[in-house]
Structure 1
Amino acid sequence: MKPQWIVVTNAALARIFSRKSAIEPMVPVATLTHAQSRLRAGALAADRAGRQAADNSHGANQFESRSDPHRKEHQRFAREIAQQLDEALAAGKFGSLLIFSSNPFIGELRAQLSHAVSERVQALLDRDLSHVGITELERRIAVPSDGKA
């Protein structure tokens, strides 16, 4: 039986754990960080919004960026996590997957997962547990002994 992987993530940090069964302890596999997600929007944008005089007035029109710089960084990090999961699945490192992610990053991550990885997902839960230590994390995601979730 292949191990189960548990992914605990938000837009700036992803921790991946492995366990052989629901009663086995979790073992850290990888930690991914994305510091750009924590930067201010001004630090992420390469340029100021464009300006153009549209008529004979003394003012100028400002063109706003169509995409939020933070959202672009979140998408980039979600792609990085999804790629790591694709590579691990291709190498046979896990058989099933639990994902705990903050909202709205859970949507960004879900959009980046390949079909093959999505088929392995047993649960995709909107919970930001990235700040929780491994002992507390095991307690929070433990399956009760009677088998009911």
Structure 2
Amino acid sequence: MAITWILVANASLAKLYANLGPNKGLTLVKELIHPESRQKNSELVTDRAGSMPGFGNGSGAKIQQTMPKEHEAKIFAQEIAQELYHGRATNAFGRAIVCAPPSFMGMLNAVMDSPTAQMITDRFEKDYTKSPEPVLRDRLASCLFL
């Protein structure tokens, strides 16, 4: 039976578990932490928005296209996608299950390569990062033989 990887993630924490087969339970493979995603937007930037000459009577202000916190979450999503890519490329798993809040799931889906995305058999749009392992096992019982 193929190894199943279970990714439980949010914008600042990711836990990667492996299920080696029936009655084997879950084994923590890796934990990734991205503390920048927990900081406030004001702590992630050093200056106020700059100013630019405006058109017409008012003055222009440079507005950031992406909030710093969202930018950090995207960086973390890329790091996680790279970890899944590496696992797929080295045949470390045969299928994957991903659990993440809806907004972060969208970020992961946007940066994941197609062959890796095809190995994901189940997606749960929930944040299970704070769930203890027994609770996580119960939540995944429908798609895993634990």
Deviates more, 1:92-101 or 1:130-139: 130-139
Amino acid in the other structure paired with 1:96:
R
CA shift for structure 1 position 135: 1.4
RMSD: 2.2
CA shift for structure 1 position 144: 8.3
Residue correspondence of structure 1 range 19-30 to structure 2 within 5 A: 19-30=19-30
8 A contact 1:54–1:60 mirrored in 2: yes
State the partner residue of 1:88. Answer: 87
Q: Which runs of 4+ in 1 moved over 3 A?
A: 52-57
CA shift for structure 1 position 60: 4.8
User: In structure 2, do the counterparts of structure 1 residues 92 and 54 end up closer, same or farther at CA, with 3 Å as the change threshold?
Assistant: closer
**Number of equivalent positions:** 145
Amino acid in the other structure paired with 2:99:
F
Amino acid in the other structure paired with 1:125:
F
Say which SS state the counterpart of residue 25 (structure 1) adopts: coil
CA distance in 2, matches of 1:82, 1:139: 25
8 A contact 2:18–2:26 mirrored in 1: yes
- What TM-score do you get using the length of structure 2 for normalisation? 0.89
Structure showing greater radius of gyration is: 1
Say which SS state the counterpart of residue 104 (structure 1) adopts: helix
CA distance in 2, matches of 1:56, 1:143: 61
Say which SS state the counterpart of residue 76 (structure 1) adopts: helix
8 A contact 2:122–2:143 mirrored in 1: no
CA distance in 2, matches of 1:2, 1:16: 16
Q: Does residue 1:40 correspond to 2:8, yes or no?
A: no
Percentage identity across aligned positions? 27
User: In structure 2, do the counterparts of structure 1 residues 89 and 54 end up closer, same or farther at CA, with 3 Å as the change threshold?
Assistant: closer
- What TM-score do you get using the length of structure 1 for normalisation? 0.87
Unaligned runs of 5+ in 2: none
CA shift for structure 1 position 143: 2.5
CA distance in 1, matches of 2:99, 2:62: 37
Amino acid in the other structure paired with 1:19:
N
CA shift for structure 1 position 51: 2.1
Amino acid in the other structure paired with 1:11:
A
CA shift for structure 1 position 53: 5.8
8 A contact 1:101–1:127 mirrored in 2: yes
